[in-house]
Amino acid sequence: MKWKLPPGVHGYETQHGKPVFYFRRPGYPKIRLRGHPGSTEFMDAYDAAKAGRQPIEIGAKRTKPGTVNAAIVGYYQSSAFKDGLAKSTQDSRRAILERFREDHGDKRVALMHGTALQNILNGKTPAVQRNWVKAWRGWVDHCLTLKLMTKDPLVELRLANMPRTGGHHPWETAECEQFEKHHAIGSRARLAYELLLQAGQSRCDVVRMGRQHIRDGMMTMGRQKTGVPFNVEIMPRLQAAIDAMPASNHLTFLITAQGKPFTAAGFGNYFRDICRQAGLPERCTSHGLRKAAATYLAELGFTDHQLMAWFGWTSISQAQVYTKTANRKRMSREGAKLISGTGIGSPSDPVSQNVAQPIENIGAGK
């Protein structure tokens, strides 16, 4: 169902078909609006939300001790949530937990069991199931710590198998050349492409990059999601893309058509559009350029720890995905050199295919 909603209001239907509406203002928690759009109750709540007269903590007045509502509100106020998660992770997990407690907030948290959670997951895609379990994991750990639960209900869950897709497609050389041919140096699209490919960082970090992060030819930042620092040398090709842009006082290299910094989601949509303009397939994504950069550096001979420093990875297993593949290719090439010119795989007495040759009968009738 579609509703005509005032500015800043978003709505969706729960799995039970119940419409829910929220007012969202940048930098503030979303606020639940009661009633239906156009009703007096709804418009009064909307006016109050715009004026900032709603309580900051979502649902604080409708919580009862021992309920899912109370447990989730308590989790939002915990150090594990406020200090242990990046802002983007908080937002994504809060969105899931809010949907969960919209349908089940009045239930007793001590009675929550795996079968009930499994029923909620059933019918969702494998990726969505895993996102819900990640959101539940922190909340359940909070409940177990405070003895609100005596048993972990998540251990009973069985998730659908993820399809074997190989993840994001790393861009191929021909795809890079096609993009570069369509978007020339000096365009915002080309700068976005070069930042992704040459710096090799995720879009949430690319949109924060600016001249203030560069010292003596080295870009140093901390990853938004983890805070782990990464160090990227500004190569001539990236420097040329930066220098070709008009002078600006903005703190970020990339800005929107309205002159404002990109959000990570907004940049993702923008990059998808410029890839379509270049005639590239849907598989070519911003993250695919990050994988292409890691593949290229690994094949140049970067070690696991060098890749970790460049990309800001915390686990060596992330780097080994690329170095193991590169090492296999390198070993195959070295092996080919060993047999090159030895005649292995060729007949000991090569013959012309155009000259008739005597045939020796080696069959049973010889």
Q: Which of 307, 265, 281 is nearest to 175 (CA)?
A: 281
- Give the angle 67-76-105 at the CA atoms, nearest 5°: 25
State yes or no: pLDDT of 355 exceeds 60: no
Give mean pLDDT, residues 136-161.
92
* CATH architecture assignment, domain 9-156: Orthogonal Bundle (1.10)
Q: How does DSSP classify residue 255?
A: B
| Whole-angstrom distance, CA of residue 223 vs CA of residue 310 | 11
| Whole-angstrom distance, CA of residue 198 vs CA of residue 206 | 11
Amino acid 264: pLDDT: 87
State yes or no: pLDDT of 344 exceeds 80: no
Q: pLDDT tens digits for 321-330?
A: 888 888 887 7
Tokens of residue 48, six digits: 């109050």
State yes or no: pLDDT of 126 exceeds 80: yes
Of the ranges 46-55, 89-98, 138-147, 200-209, which one carries the lowest mean pLDDT score? 46-55
- 113 vs 63, 76, 94, 107, 134, CA distance in Å? 20, 21, 21, 11, 17
Q: How does DSSP classify residue 17?
A: S
Q: What's the mean pLDDT when you consider all of the chain? A: 83
Band of pLDDT at residue 280, cut at 50, 70 and 90:
very high
Amino acid 59: pLDDT: 47
Amino acid 55: pLDDT: 42
Q: 3-class SS at 20?
A: strand
Domain limits, the chain: 9-156, 173-334
The radius of gyration of the chain's CA atoms, rounded to the nearest angstrom, is 28
Please tell me the CATH code under which domain 173-334 is placed: 1.10.443.10
Q: 3-class SS at 300?
A: helix
Amino acid 152: pLDDT: 94
Amino acid 360: pLDDT: 46
- Taken in order 192, 195, 197, 202, the sign of the CA dihedral is negative
Give DSSP secondary structure letters for 159-191. Answer: PPPPP---SSPPPPHHHHHHHHHHS-TTSHHHH
State what percent of residues in the chain have pLDDT above 90.
38
- Greater pLDDT, 153 or 169: 153
Q: pLDDT tens digits for 1-44?
A: 567 788 888 888 776 677 888 888 766 677 888 887 877 778 87
Longest dimension (CA), the chain: 104
Looking up tokens 């007045």 gives 61
Amino acid 270: pLDDT: 93
- 305 vs 34, 136, 269, 354, CA distance in Å? 53, 33, 32, 56
State yes or no: pLDDT of 231 exceeds 90: no
Q: Which of 77, 67, 58 is nearest to 138 (CA)?
A: 77
Tokens of residue 113, six digits: 């069991």
Give all strands of the β-sheet with 31-33 in edge-to-edge order: 9-13, 19-23, 31-33
Amino acid 4: pLDDT: 75
Amino acid 365: pLDDT: 45
CB within 8 A of 44, min separation 6: which ones? Answer: none
CB within 8 A of 331, min separation 6: which ones? Answer: none
Of the ranges 71-85, 103-117, 125-139, 156-170, which one carries the lowest mean pLDDT score? 156-170
Of the ranges 33-47, 87-101, 232-246, 298-312, which one carries the lowest mean pLDDT score? 33-47
Band of pLDDT at residue 366, cut at 50, 70 and 90:
very low
Amino acid 358: pLDDT: 47
Of the ranges 66-70, 198-202, 275-279, which one carries the lowest mean pLDDT score? 198-202
